[in-house]
Amino acid sequence: MLIICPPNTRLQDCLLSRSIHILTACGGRGNCGKCAVKVISGETAINTMDRLWFSEEQLEAGWRLGCQVFAKDEQITVEVKTGSEG
């Protein structure tokens, strides 16, 4: 499922406003890696927790921890896997 997240918005807030739920086993602390999403377009920062869970190649391909993604200055498009998608 592709989600467009507007600027200055946390992906988690964007998803919740649409009643879309991703797996967040650790409560969004960056400890479980269950919330992986793929940023399709737009820039998002890579933080320390992303670096723990993903290889450099995966980061280059856009993989991030969904609980940590923030759309800063521009809208981003993110591919998410919801709980119902298995």
Instruction: Single out the segment in contact with ligand FES by CB under 6 A; choices: 20-28, 38-46, 54-62, 73-81.
Output: 20-28
Stretch of residues binding ligand FES (CB under 6 A), selected from 1-9, 13-21, 33-41, 69-77: 33-41
Question: Which of 43, 46, 38, 45 has the alpha carbon at shortest distance from 22?
Answer: 38
Bridge partners for 10 per DSSP = 70
Q: Which is nearer to ligand FES, 32 or 46 (CB)?
A: 32
Nearer to ligand FES, 9 or 31 (CB): 31
| Alpha-carbon span 49 to 33, nearest angstrom | 9
Classify 61 as helix, strand or coil: coil
**Residue 46 engages ligand FES in binding (rule: CB under 6 A):** no
